[in-house]
Amino acid sequence: MSDREYMDTNRAHWDEVTPIHVDSDFYAVDEFKAGKTKLKRVELEELTGVAGKTLLHLQCHFGLDTLSWAREGAIVTGADFSEPAIAQARALADECGIDARFVVSNIYDLPKNLDGQFDIIFTSYGVLTWLPDLERWAQVVAHFLRPGGTFYIVEFHPMQHTLDYESVDEPRLRYPYFRQDAPLRWDDAGDYTQRDVTLEQSVTFEFQYPLGDVVTALIDAGLRIDFLHEFPFSTYQLLPYTEVKEDGTVRLKHGDGTLPLLFSIKATKPA
């Protein structure tokens, strides 16, 4: 299969799950409508001073984080390849009275579909595994980032993607850490927000990138790495042998602190 075919298959999946996500307890849209931010403590502490800045959110899904940044004072644009997701994002912005722009586009085609550069580019939580070409992704980031601007990503650590999601008691290695010649093919009739749902577009393809490849791709695209942080916790409970702590972090039940589950990178485009 070609990269385009992988992405088209994934897009069909995301088109189908978007309304499921909007209605799910996982995304808690009603809480957002009531004024609660959907941003996590990590990004709020590490990406500061957004008020009055232009911010492009790549792979924004249906826009909850994009609109949360708008509430922080940013001038926001969100981009995603799913037309139903962008339609939901626009409807949510209108309903909440939040000024935001949303663009439907495959991320690699975005330079053809969006003009201008931005002070900040943001992306987060489950985005890299959907990219068939990491180097082109980094080039898109550099294309849209103004000189002196900030790129920020907070993402599930690739180490977490090596672990067996079906193991119940403790972490167990199952999947490769390093980049492979072909993506992992999944065929799961359920969804991470509702396990009992039956999907027609159940097949997806995911790509694994080690942390070094992510950093190198950004450097090769011309960005300067300001920091790379790794965390022994996550923000979402993806693994059965984790537990949610009082501070909202998700940690291993046994061996807490022994494995990285999350990372963040902040980078600058030299002026």
Q: Which residues of the chain have pLDDT under 50?
A: none
Within 10 A of 75 (CB to CB), how many other CB atoms are there? 19
**Lookup: tokens for 172:** 């167990």
pLDDT at 188: 80
* CB of 17 closer than 8 Å to CB of 199: yes
Amino acid at 6: Y
pLDDT at 68: 98
d(CA 161, CA 155): 11
Q: Is 143 exposed, middle or buried (0-12, 13-18, 19+ CB in 10 A)?
A: middle
Amino acid at 110: L
pLDDT at 214: 98
pLDDT at 163: 92
pLDDT at 109: 97
pLDDT at 9: 97
List the one residue out of 62, 56, 80, 54 whose CA is nearest residue 20.
62
Domain boundary assignment for the chain: 3-158+208-236+260-268
Out of 3.90.180.10, 3.40.50.2000, 3.30.990.10, 3.40.50.150, the CATH code matching 3-158+208-236+260-268 is: 3.40.50.150
**Lookup: tokens for 268:** 């600058």
pLDDT at 45: 97
